[in-house]
Structure 1
Amino acid sequence: MAAQTKSIGVQPELLRWARDSANMTIVDVAEKFKKRPEEIEAWENGEGGPTYAQLERLAYEIYKRPLAIFFLPSPPDEPKPRTEFRSLPDADLSSLQRHTVLLIRKGHAFQAALEELYQGRNPTERPLWRETSLSTQRAVSPQAQRVRDLLGVSLEQVEEASTDDEALKLWRRAIEARGVFVFKDSFKQGEISGFCLRHEEFPIILINNSTTKTRQTFSLLHELAHLLFNRSGISRFDDAGIDELPPQDRAIEKFCNSVAAEILVPARDFAIAVRGLDPLHASDEEFAAVARRYHVSRSVILRRFLDQGQVSEAFYLEKDREWANQRGRGGSGGDYYNTQGAYLSERFLRDVVSGYSRRVISKSEAAEMIGVKPKNFDAFQDLVLRGAA
């Protein structure tokens, strides 16, 4: 009977805030909750309210919030996507799906866990963003070379990678070694390629695992470029909407694309690799052969021709759309714990496990940091001990 007791002390404003912050309409909530929209609207207007059991469902299943947050006197102050991200036009920001909004919130939770784990200070002696930054007022090539030098990834190392996945891991580990924590997840909103969240000590990148490894690599470097502009960013797979951005934001977004392409495919080496190749008449296999050299997509190779003025933007967009229709999904597959371990920042997971092993943090604290139930933490500990994460 206690489950039927009305919730006490829940402000209607908090119910509205929780729904708005998940980018959901009253109809969306009603459908998930198997209720009439009028009933959800009445709760938000202070006419009655959910039972305690219903509030638990709202908190844990629909809004993905701690239950305690609904008993605050007023909504907490949180960054909103519209103010946090300037790399998408307003139309795209307003259409962010609930799952994407929840992933952004998950990213902030990871940052809070990082602050707790490392006691407020990045464990890297020389974080990348304190060694260099980007500016649209300087040439792309030397800035990209500076980033590549600081990451310590050579063309030879990339070329020697046996698979696209190995090349992605090479870049990911190099970036984490310079203080940026990299996470992955499967995005339900397929057109989003990833996002980054700036932070003075703990910037993070979260990339969409539901696509090819080469696409993930470009997204990783694109989001890194955002961070080196000292801004959060959320990016699409295509260039749609860039021209709708304000001039300064549009310039930065295009610059991030160029920097990522130059880091992955340096112009000097590219000129040698494509000598004698006519991009307007080259076959898909010829583009693919060059792409394999750098473990990038054909679109990145075509973008290099675009950057050098050898193809028009219309030609690039047409081929990119054609190739996009041919791309497979990255997928995860395999063992659940291996997959989830790969989603987490390798350095973060390793240090959480180390903290638990040294009894610096408890199992429940360690599990909360990586976002799993305490009973499942041992499986992630085994991953680290086996070196599989």
Structure 2
Amino acid sequence: MAEAQINPAILTWALQRSGIDALVLADKLGTAASRVESWEAGERKPTFRQAKRIAEITHVPFGYFYLPEPPTEALPIADFRTVGDDPVRPLSPDFRDIFNDVMRKQGWFREYRQQHFEEPLPFIGRFNGRSAAADIATDIGRTLRITGQDRANCAGWEEYLRLLIARIEDAGVLVMRSGIVGNNTHRPLSVDEFRGFVVADPYAPVVFLNGKDAKAAQIFTLIHELAHLWLGESGVSNERIGTAQQHGGDVERLCNATAAEFLVPAAEFRARWNNRIGFVAQVREFARMFKVSGVVVGRRAVELRLAPWDEFAAFYRAEREAWAAAAARQSSGGNPYKTSAVRNGKLLTKAVLETAFEGRMLLRDAGSLLGVAPANLRKLASSVYGEE
């Protein structure tokens, strides 16, 4: 069988980019690791069939393997991710594919708003890095019309998350969340890689949440990313509030502080905290009360000098183990139309459906944008509008 005259440097780049090594690739191809290593060294060449399969496995366009050198894949938003003091790994193909899909949808919605002569949203970039977290948090609450009583009225984390998303979309911000790339359940997103990202566009801002994260953690990420919008700063985040030193620069620290103050106001927290109650028991109670994770509550107690670091550190280690076990049990099933509305956000979904049903957009194009078969768009509409 004819050999594919691929560039071995591109093969090495593709493997590094996808986070797999020669042994893993060999196993997927049903060949020896030494053969893959010989391809990387340029001593031998894979067949066309093998090269195409490599492109599928590494999620790299087949034509890239014939380029003279690896392409530059600059991210159009800032990378605020951190792992302690160590450099973070390059963003994976899964992230890049979900990011490109979100940007395609964001671009459509931006044009849609401009065609409807909508004004730019006034809160994008309203504050800057020298602003106080409490001032930003107060302005976010005022804009979303969210109060402590709204939080108390919610039965749990999922209901509070839905309320926050609804109010944020009412303000004009697209909110999308998914735990997989497109509709492919074999390509789950990694919480260790990123928890969310945000695009601070004045006409079509978008917040994306990693749906693989716990609901309580998604709430914190949602407000963290919203703070990015108020600062006018686009970026991808994996906020690490369980570490002693918060890394990521001034922007991330300010966004974390804003999210903490919005979700767990310092004054209310201090008034309710009781040193006579055990740390873990009180953290659990406050997590239910404020509709955030126990880690956010524990960190808040440390920041406000109401509890020692070592108690929080022990609690955080136990929580990480519980998260890992819960993530392994997580299911991607459910109503496909409700899932579609969550992945795309109701704001975008309604705009696309409205445009398509008014004949200003082909049903084929609407289905492609929303990831739904054109024949099922009316079922999607019934699901979305039937919940109101």
Query: Residues 283 and 270 from structure 1, CA distance in 2 versus in 1: closer, same or farther, beyond 3 angstroms?
Result: closer
Measured after TM superposition, the shift of residue 184 of structure 1 is 2.0
1: CA distance, partners of 2:151 / 2:277: 28
The equivalent of 1:93 in structure 2 is 88
Q: Equivalents in 1 of 2:30, 2:36: separation in Å? A: 10
Give the counterpart letter for 2:294 in structure 1.
Answer: R
Structure 2 Cα separation of the partners of residues 54 and 168 of structure 1: 45
Q: Give the percent of matched residue pairs that are identical in Structure 1 and Structure 2.
A: 22
Give the superposition deviation at 1:44. Answer: 5.0
Aligned to 1:234: 237
**1:384 paired residue number:** 381
In 2: Cα distance, 1:263 partner to 1:165 partner: 17
Give the distance between the partners of 2:259 and 2:335, measured in 1 at CA. 32
Q: How does 1:154-303 map to 2 (within 5 A)?
A: 154-186=147-179, 187=188, 189-192=190-193, 194-198=195-199, 200=201, 202-229=204-231, 230-236=233-239, 238-240=241-243, 242=245, 245=247, 249-272=248-271, 274=272, 277-279=273-275, 281-282=277-278, 284-303=280-299
Query: How does the TM-score come out when normalised to structure 2?
Result: 0.78
Tell me if 1:127 matches 2:121.
Answer: yes
Counterpart residue type for residue 224 of structure 1: L
| Alpha-carbon shift at residue 223 of structure 1 (Å) | 2.6
Greater alpha carbon shift after TM alignment, 147-156 vs 50-59: 50-59
Aligned-pair CA distance for 1:237: 5.4
1:313 is aligned to 2:309: yes
Question: Aligned partner of 1:321: which letter?
Answer: R
Q: Deviations over 1:218-263 (max 9, x none)?
A: 12112333444414132155534855x4xxx344333322211111
Indicate the residue corresponding to 1:35 in structure 2: 31
2:124 is paired with a residue whose SS is helix
C-alpha distance in structure 2 between counterparts of 1:67 and 1:352, whole Å: 32
8 Å contact kept, 2:125–2:230: no
Per the alignment, in what secondary structure is the counterpart of residue 183 of structure 1? strand
User: Counterpart amino acid of 2:237?
Assistant: I
State the shift of 1:129 in Å: 5.0
Distance 1:261 1:363, change over 3 A: same
8 Å Cα contact 2:133/2:261 also seen in 1: yes
Structure 2: distance between partners of 1:215 and 1:180:
20
Alpha-carbon distance between aligned partners in 2 of 1:27 and 1:337, rounded to the nearest angstrom:
39
* SS of residue in 1 equivalent to 2:86: helix
Q: Is the 8 A contact 1:261 1:303 kept in 2?
A: no
1:114 — aligned with what? 106
* 8 Å contact from structure 1 (residues 87, 253) kept in 2: no
C-alpha contact (below 8 Å) 1:214/1:297 kept by paired residues: yes
TM-score by length of 1: 0.78
- Determine helix, strand or coil for the equivalent of 1:207: strand
Partner AA of 1:169 in structure 2? R
Tell which deviates more after alignment, 124-133 or 101-110. Answer: 124-133
1:112 match: secondary structure: helix
Question: What RMSD over aligned residues (CA atoms) do the two structures have, in Å?
Answer: 3.6
Distance 1:62 1:362, change over 3 A: farther
Where does structure 2 lack aligned partners over 5 or more consecutive residues?
180-187
Question: Once the two structures are superposed, what CA deviation does each residue of 1:95-123 show, in whole Å capped at 9, x if it has no partner?
Answer: 86x5xx41243113210232145438678
Structure 1 residue 38: Cα displacement:
4.2
What residue is the counterpart of 2:182 in the other structure? Answer: none
CA distance, structure 1, for counterparts of residue 168 and residue 193 of structure 2: 21
State the Cα deviation string for residues 355-374 of structure 1 (Å, max 9, x = none). Answer: 3333433344334323x4x6
Aligned match of 2:354: 354
How far the C-alpha of 1:379 sits from its partner, in A, is 3.8
Long gaps (5+) in structure 1: none
Describe the SS at the equivalent of 2:195.
Answer: strand
Q: Is the 8 A contact 1:242 1:250 kept in 2?
A: no
Q: Distance in 1 between matches of 2:88 and 2:352?
A: 34
**Alpha-carbon distance change, 381 to 279 in structure 1, aligned in 2, over 3 angstroms:** farther
In structure 1, the residue corresponding to 2:177 is in which secondary structure?
Answer: strand
Task: Provide the rounded CA distance (Å) in 2 between the counterparts of 1:54 and 1:64.
Answer: 14
* 3-state SS, counterpart of residue 189 of structure 1: coil
- Work out whether residues 191 and 237 of structure 1, in 8 Å CA contact, stay in contact via their aligned partners in 2: no
2:142 alignment partner in structure 1: 149
Whether contact under 8 Å (1:113, 1:369) holds in the other structure is yes
1:79 Cα offset (Å): 1.9
* Number of matched pairs: 369
Counterpart AA for 1:62 = I
Q: Of the candidates 69, 79, 88, which is equivalent to residue 74 of structure 2?
A: 79
